[in-house]
Structure 1
Amino acid sequence: MIQLVPSQDNEQVHRLRDYSFSNKYIGEKRNDFQYWVEYSTTIGAYDERKLVGQLLVLPLNMTIHQTSYKMGGIGFVCTYPEFRNRGIMKKLMIRALEEMRKNGQSVSVLAPFSVSFYRYFGWELFFDKLNYSIPSEAFPNFGNELDDVKRFSFEWLEEQLFEDVCTFYNDIAKNMNGFMKRDGAWWKRIHRREPDSHFAAYYKDDKIQGFVRYQIQNLTFIIKDFVVKDYLAEQALWRYISSHSASVYRITGNTAATNHFGFHFNQPQFKKELVQDCMVRIVDVTAFLSEYSWAELTEPMYLRIQDHFAHWNEQLYCITNNGDVEIVESDLIVDDKVLSLSINIFSAMIVGYLTVSEAALYAKHQPHEATLMAWEQALRKEKPSFYEYF
Structure 2
Amino acid sequence: MKNIKTLTEADYNEIFSLSQFAFQYKLSEEELQKKKEEVKRHTVWGWMEEDQIAAKVHLIPLSCYIHGRSFAMGGISSVATWPEYRRQGMVKHLLYHALKQMKQNGQTLSFLHPFSFAFYRKYGWEHAFTQQRYSIPLEKLKKEWGGAGYVRRIQPDIPMLHRIYTEYAKTFNGILERDEKWWKQRVLKDESQHIAVAFSAEGYPEGYLIYNVKEQVLTVKEVVYNNLNARKLLVQFIGNHDSMAEKANLVVPEDDNLPLLLDEPRFEQKLLPYFMARIVDVKGFLEAYPFQGDGKLTLELEDEFLPENSGSYQLGHGDVANIEAIQCSIQVLTGVLLGYKRPSDYYQVGLLKGDAQAIEQLEELIPRRQTYLMDFF
1:239 is the counterpart of 2:226: no
User: 1:366 and 1:311, CA in 2 relative to 1: closer, same or farther beyond 3 A?
Assistant: closer
Counterpart selection for 2:112 from 110, 113, 117: 110
Match of 2:345 in 1: 358
Residue 181 of structure 2 aligns with an amino acid whose one-letter code is A
Provide, for residues 306-342 of structure 1, a one-character-per-residue CA deviation record: whole Å limited to 9, x for no partner.
1111122112112363699xxxxxxxx99x6211111
Residue 63 of structure 2 aligns with an amino acid whose one-letter code is N
Whether the 8 Å contact between 1:306 and 1:341 is mirrored in structure 2 is: yes
Question: Normalized against structure 2, the TM-score is what?
Answer: 0.93
Query: What are structure 1's unaligned runs of at least 5 residues?
Result: 325-332
Match of 1:293 in 2: 290
Match of 1:258 in 2: 255
Whether the 8 Å contact between 2:171 and 2:369 is mirrored in structure 1 is: no
Whether the 8 Å contact between 2:38 and 2:185 is mirrored in structure 1 is: no
Shift of 1:99: 1.2
Q: Distance in 2 between matches of 1:55 and 1:249?
A: 41
Whether the 8 Å contact between 1:106 and 1:282 is mirrored in structure 2 is: yes
Residue 250 of structure 2 aligns with an amino acid whose one-letter code is G
SS in 2 for 1:295: coil
Question: Normalized against structure 1, the TM-score is what?
Answer: 0.90
Whether the 8 Å contact between 1:41 and 1:57 is mirrored in structure 2 is: yes
User: 1:125 and 1:365, CA in 2 relative to 1: closer, same or farther beyond 3 A?
Assistant: closer
User: 1:132 and 1:29, CA in 2 relative to 1: closer, same or farther beyond 3 A?
Assistant: farther
Match of 1:305 in 2: 301
Shift of 1:250: 1.3
Shift of 1:41: 1.8
User: 1:314 and 1:146, CA in 2 relative to 1: closer, same or farther beyond 3 A?
Assistant: closer
SS in 1 for 2:164: helix
Query: What are structure 2's unaligned runs of at least 5 residues?
Result: none
User: 1:249 and 1:40, CA in 2 relative to 1: closer, same or farther beyond 3 A?
Assistant: same
Residue 132 of structure 2 aligns with an amino acid whose one-letter code is L
User: 1:339 and 1:64, CA in 2 relative to 1: closer, same or farther beyond 3 A?
Assistant: same
Shift of 1:146: 7.3
Shift of 1:246: 0.7
Residue 282 of structure 2 aligns with an amino acid whose one-letter code is V
Sequence identity percentage: 26
Counterpart selection for 1:178 from 155, 174, 178: 174
1:269 is the counterpart of 2:256: no
Q: Distance in 2 between matches of 1:91 and 1:151?
A: 48
User: 1:145 and 1:296, CA in 2 relative to 1: closer, same or farther beyond 3 A?
Assistant: closer
User: 1:337 and 1:187, CA in 2 relative to 1: closer, same or farther beyond 3 A?
Assistant: same
Listed as ranges, the matches of 1:1-390 within 5 Å are 1-27=3-29, 29-143=31-145, 147-153=149-155, 157=156, 159=157, 162-191=158-187, 193-204=189-200, 205-298=202-295, 300-319=296-315, 321=317, 337-361=324-348, 366-390=353-377
Moved more, 277-286 or 124-133: 124-133
Moved more, 30-39 or 361-370: 361-370
Q: Distance in 2 between matches of 1:248 and 1:321?
A: 54
Whether the 8 Å contact between 2:164 and 2:225 is mirrored in structure 1 is: no
Whether the 8 Å contact between 1:63 and 1:176 is mirrored in structure 2 is: yes
Whether the 8 Å contact between 1:138 and 1:269 is mirrored in structure 2 is: no
Shift of 1:223: 0.5
Whether the 8 Å contact between 1:290 and 1:323 is mirrored in structure 2 is: no
Whether the 8 Å contact between 2:147 and 2:230 is mirrored in structure 1 is: no
SS in 1 for 2:19: helix
Q: Distance in 2 between matches of 1:277 and 1:259?
A: 16
SS in 2 for 1:97: helix
Moved more, 212-221 or 184-193: 184-193
Residue 301 of structure 1 aligns with an amino acid whose one-letter code is L
Shift of 1:28: 5.2
SS in 2 for 1:214: strand
Q: Distance in 2 between matches of 1:365 and 1:249?
A: 46
Q: Give RMSD over aligned pairs.
A: 2.2
Residue 297 of structure 1 aligns with an amino acid whose one-letter code is D
